[in-house]
Structure 1
């Protein structure tokens, strides 16, 4: 076995390393768990939880490394007896302490990943997130250890903890670009957004560059070797470039992320973010009664889609857009229904007393308990209607409901006619005036003349006129005798009056 292997085995048996791994792992899990969104398995949110754990574990890791450096300072005279470089012992301690910190952070990352995998996760797991957290944690270990080597006092671990804690706790996300310096401070990543890979990469480069600069500077200070100056300058240059990139990016750590929605198509098509697929049954049960009651009105919809928080909610083109919280707290389905109802209103109710009638209709549409209103008679009348009558009424009064023009007269006591609901105009009835019998002239048909004795028809009679051409007598038509009209009989008058009526 080589000399380096024997030294590593001996140093690994020391108490500092045995204490570091479990302590840092427990602290990391306690710090990461509150950062997870309850009920949501989103990989970007899980990465933020890992970075939060690294940020809060960093001061503890730095103080523990400073304590190990102060504790091992008394053994330097034994290490100086060897032919190794004076910086070798410190570098070996740094290697072991950094390895212990990385092992503890790996345990935290595995716990967070396992918690995400136990549910139906969504999003994309980026390896840059754990890498940025591990590099920031190693930076804390190196800085704390070197502080203990430079200032070997018993109070040094407490001073290191007091210096590192404000950097981790007092910075607020989104306030300044300082919050993006490792370890970065993040808010919860909202749905339909994702962490910027460029920011995570710059943070990783910044942490590794500063770690390399500290180690090279410490080795150059102990060994007095000029060969370490160019790598040190390169490390500092890398830190400067990463700092400029973080500064130019501002405080924007997330970008909109295109997401394919997960849908449930029966009995109503409801689509949400894949991280909220567990909410589909409850949302479908809440939206279906509202969709059926709005059927036949301009506000009808057959599809519900979850939209990002930056987009408004409402109904357009048969699609209802809603916004859901990342954390599915109690009553999220009712709040989503309320968003649709608010989107149906064209303007708020500003007239005194006008909002009470819309509140009655809103309570019925949402399936909620009707609120107490000043016009109790109208409320009782509307409550006594059947479901079918309410739907017919809404089709005829939807415009008034949307513009907050409802009043007590909009809720009639009698059943509305189907023609009024459908907007069909009734045909105009034309009444013919009755004609009096006295104004009617009764003209009975003339009586036929008596037939002649010889059987000749009455209309054609042979007379002794001169013979026509060929000796044939010409028929003559008898002249019509004028007769005075006979007075109408009572029976004829009665039958005529009945016919006129």
Structure 2
């Protein structure tokens, strides 16, 4: 038995040395790594997001490996060499077993390269969060399962059309299964184009259930491929194992009700995740550990704005990163940072300043460009300490009224501007400022 095991391993090793396999897998690795790195949240080191990026890139690996495996599975039949297997003293399942093992090795190598590339990239961002095991395993099981299924189809249907069709099927399933959102079927494959952030994590048990289910699919695919070549007892054993794994995986996924994410966090729950803090003058700033590298930029960007709001009803003493659409605590301003691409912190400041105005009231005055422009000048001052009438959107040329307001605003000290804004807060909040307010 040991001699047979050694022989099948040698056969698999010979199969992996095929040059066209090597070039195909190298191309697949390049494309998958490019896709995985593109799925990472810019500038943020967060392990759950990294895991999801690797898993999601598996759809490309699955397509490529399914097509490659189908081509390998039907190679002997297409070349008319099947009769050679009967001239050998080794068991009939030896050749397909060696080929299948080689394809699984190639799939594992491709997936492993993607995982290593992402890990190395994320390590430069001082990552936070739980790296986990089940997510990596679920992605690997998915790529292996599609590889095994591709080989089985190629062996059972040796046609020149088999490989292209096998390569398309994983992507077709990836697209079509979005119609199953809310049902267990949506979660059967881990290639889900969802967003993973510190405030939107996959449900507990999701990846584990997917890994077990997909392991059952892989075993079933191998069993179908080798069914005619195995003994009845071995076939029944393979069927029992695959069925047991598949049922167990589905049983784990069923209570999740077809939802990828954990229940939404409340404002207090999301704020408690922001445990990395710093203080700048009278402003305390707290962010999630995954965004710790942004603290200096956040401090430099928001400190002056908070000082300009000190004498208004919107006075800010704490700036806390939290989930969107959650109501902050009194005296606390929400910091909405989804990523750390260049300019994102400034966008968060603009978002905070825009939230100071009453959306419904300002909508009633949106047809009056004069009042909207005056409000925008004050918003410019809150952000940058200066106003520029020529930068107001929708006005080809600043009016005399706007130039006067600009001159007044640019003459303020921080204390004068804060006092003025406190006195005119209601008009600013409702977008009803007039030129008289700046004289």
> TM-score of the superposition, structure 2-length normalised?
0.82
1:318-362 alpha-carbon deviations (Å, 9 max, x no partner): 321121232x34432333223333333356333555444433322
Give 1:33's match in structure 2, choosing from 37, 52, 61: 37
Q: How far 1:182 moved relative to its partner?
A: 2.0
Give 2:347's match in structure 1, choosing from 327, 331, 335: 335
2:232 is the alignment partner of 1:225:
yes
**What is the rounded CA distance, in whole Å, between the counterparts of 1:229 and 1:241 in structure 2?**
18
2:208 is the alignment partner of 1:201:
yes
**What is the rounded CA distance, in whole Å, between the counterparts of 2:427 and 2:169 in structure 1?**
65
2:126 is the alignment partner of 1:120:
yes
**What is the rounded CA distance, in whole Å, between the counterparts of 1:181 and 1:222 in structure 2?**
30
2:187 is the alignment partner of 1:160:
no
In structure 1, the residue matched to 2:395 is none
Say how many residue pairs are matched: 409
2:66 is the alignment partner of 1:62:
yes
Q: How far 1:380 moved relative to its partner?
A: 5.2
Give 2:194's match in structure 1, choosing from 187, 190, 207: 187
In structure 2, the residue matched to 1:370 is 388
**What is the rounded CA distance, in whole Å, between the counterparts of 2:418 and 2:224 in structure 1?**
80
**What is the rounded CA distance, in whole Å, between the counterparts of 1:13 and 1:93 in structure 2?**
9
**What is the rounded CA distance, in whole Å, between the counterparts of 1:330 and 1:25 in structure 2?**
28
- 3-state SS in 1 of match to 2:229: helix
Q: Which of the pair has more CA radius of gyration?
A: 1
Kept in 2: contact 1:359–1:370 (CA 8 A): no
Q: 1:23 to 1:404 in 2, by over 3 A?
A: closer
**What is the rounded CA distance, in whole Å, between the counterparts of 1:278 and 1:124 in structure 2?**
18
Give 1:105's match in structure 2, choosing from 83, 87, 111: 111
1:456-501 alpha-carbon deviations (Å, 9 max, x no partner): xxxxxxxxxxxxxxxxxxxxxxxxxxxxxxxxxxxxxxxxxxxxxx
Q: How far 1:79 moved relative to its partner?
A: 3.4
In structure 2, the residue matched to 1:300 is 315
In structure 1, the residue matched to 2:336 is 323
Q: How far 1:55 moved relative to its partner?
A: 1.4
Kept in 2: contact 1:282–1:333 (CA 8 A): yes
**What is the rounded CA distance, in whole Å, between the counterparts of 2:31 and 2:423 in structure 1?**
64
1:23-72 alpha-carbon deviations (Å, 9 max, x no partner): 44333223322222222222122111111222111121111112222224
**What is the rounded CA distance, in whole Å, between the counterparts of 2:47 and 2:27 in structure 1?**
26
Q: How far 1:114 moved relative to its partner?
A: 0.7
2:78 is the alignment partner of 1:71:
no
Q: 1:4 to 1:277 in 2, by over 3 A?
A: same
Q: How far 1:127 moved relative to its partner?
A: 0.9
Kept in 2: contact 1:59–1:168 (CA 8 A): no
2:375 is the alignment partner of 1:358:
yes
1:125-164 map, 5 Å: 125-164=131-170
Normalized per residue, the structure richer in helix is 2
Q: How far 1:378 moved relative to its partner?
A: 4.6
Kept in 2: contact 1:24–1:105 (CA 8 A): no
Q: How far 1:137 moved relative to its partner?
A: 1.2
> TM-score of the superposition, structure 1-length normalised?
0.73
2:278 is the alignment partner of 1:264:
yes
1:421-460 map, 5 Å: none
Q: 1:291 to 1:137 in 2, by over 3 A?
A: same
**What is the rounded CA distance, in whole Å, between the counterparts of 1:173 and 1:288 in structure 2?**
46
- 3-state SS in 1 of match to 2:205: helix
Q: Which runs of 5+ in 1 are unaligned?
A: 413-501
In structure 2, the residue matched to 1:390 is 417
In structure 2, the residue matched to 1:490 is none
- 3-state SS in 1 of match to 2:196: coil
2:96 is the alignment partner of 1:90:
yes
**What is the rounded CA distance, in whole Å, between the counterparts of 1:337 and 1:373 in structure 2?**
27
Q: How far 1:204 moved relative to its partner?
A: 0.7
**What is the rounded CA distance, in whole Å, between the counterparts of 2:306 and 2:130 in structure 1?**
34
**What is the rounded CA distance, in whole Å, between the counterparts of 1:334 and 1:29 in structure 2?**
30
- 3-state SS in 2 of match to 1:207: helix
**What is the rounded CA distance, in whole Å, between the counterparts of 1:207 and 1:408 in structure 2?**
68
**What is the rounded CA distance, in whole Å, between the counterparts of 2:296 and 2:246 in structure 1?**
51
Kept in 1: contact 2:45–2:122 (CA 8 A): yes
1:153-182 alpha-carbon deviations (Å, 9 max, x no partner): 333322322434422455549846444222
**What is the rounded CA distance, in whole Å, between the counterparts of 1:338 and 1:19 in structure 2?**
49
**What is the rounded CA distance, in whole Å, between the counterparts of 1:227 and 1:11 in structure 2?**
21
Q: 1:20 to 1:183 in 2, by over 3 A?
A: farther
